[in-house]
Amino acid sequence: MAKVDIRKLNVWFKENHVLKDVTLTIKENAVTAIMGPSGCGKSTLLRAINRMNETIDGCRTTGEIYIDGQNIYDGSIDVYELRRRVGMVFQKPNPLPKSIFENVAFGLKIHKMADGQKLAEFVEKSLKEAALWEEVKDRLNESAFSLSGGQQQRLCIARALAVNPEIILLDEPCSALDPIATQKIETLIRELAEKYTVIIVTHNVQQAARVSDYVAFLYLGKLIEYGPTKRVFENPENELTERYLTGEFG
């Protein structure tokens, strides 16, 4: 099943044409990796899916992105609600200057989704989904900044999961983490795909191979190749893809 359908997407930042006629269909309950060299438009593509690019001055977008058949660039779309449905986790862990509990509860309170005992239950559920509960259950009132980098990133994932999204966007979520923390996040990504549609930007070719079901290769703002990860890695159709995968450039 298609979850996200991107059609002829173009994005400019002032005069810089960053994405050029990108057309891509992303499957539901699968991990899709977007890979490519620095500056190819990976993060811009990711941020187009929850309209985060609009927070940047001088951004202009054309084309269409459909989620469950609805164009998210339609004028009637509630962007606030869209960003609840499409959660995002950034490159560097960005916990709020609050307790571990309050970090996860933040979105639930903002969206008026729970309070009291229900709030505590949702926080516990989200921390369990993010594979963090056992490590923090006895220190929920401690500052989020007392956690390690890898734990902070899983806390940010728990925060995104708490508001019951359908899609999780991960923008190079392991780039600031050590190998052990990276392994935990990668294992978590595979588990999340059982319930959510996961889209991850990564500059790490090996990571894309490990975690994804489908992979998209971008180069200079254009979609060069897209398909099942195994097929793209073992039998790329485009010479540029093969050169990137073998490390000729990146």
Tally of domains in the chain: 1
1: pLDDT confidence band, cut at 50, 70 and 90?
confident
**CA 84/CA 166 separation, integer angstroms:** 9
Residue 15 belongs to some domain of the structure: yes
Q: pLDDT tens-digit profile of 171-230?
A: 999 988 899 999 999 999 999 999 999 999 998 999 999 999 999 999 999 999 999 999
CATH for 101 = 3.40.50.300
Domain interval for residue 230: 2-245
* Centroid of chain to Cα 17: 22
**CA 154/CA 174 separation, integer angstroms:** 10
Among 15, 6, 74, CA closest to 45: 6
Does residue 93 contact residue 182 with C-beta atoms inside 8 Å? no
Comparing 109-113, 124-128, 155-159, 162-166, which segment has the lowest mean pLDDT? 109-113
Average pLDDT rounded to a whole number, residues 140-157: 96
Does residue 199 contact residue 34 with C-beta atoms inside 8 Å? yes
Report the pLDDT value the prediction gives residue 111, as an integer from 0 to 100. Answer: 85
Residue 164 belongs to some domain of the structure: yes
pTM above 0.85, yes or no: yes
Report the pLDDT value the prediction gives residue 248, as an integer from 0 to 100. Answer: 86
Residue 250 belongs to some domain of the structure: no
E strands, 56-203, in order: 59-67, 70-71, 86-89, 167-171, 197-202
Residue 229 belongs to some domain of the structure: yes
Residue 104 belongs to some domain of the structure: yes
Residue 140 belongs to some domain of the structure: yes
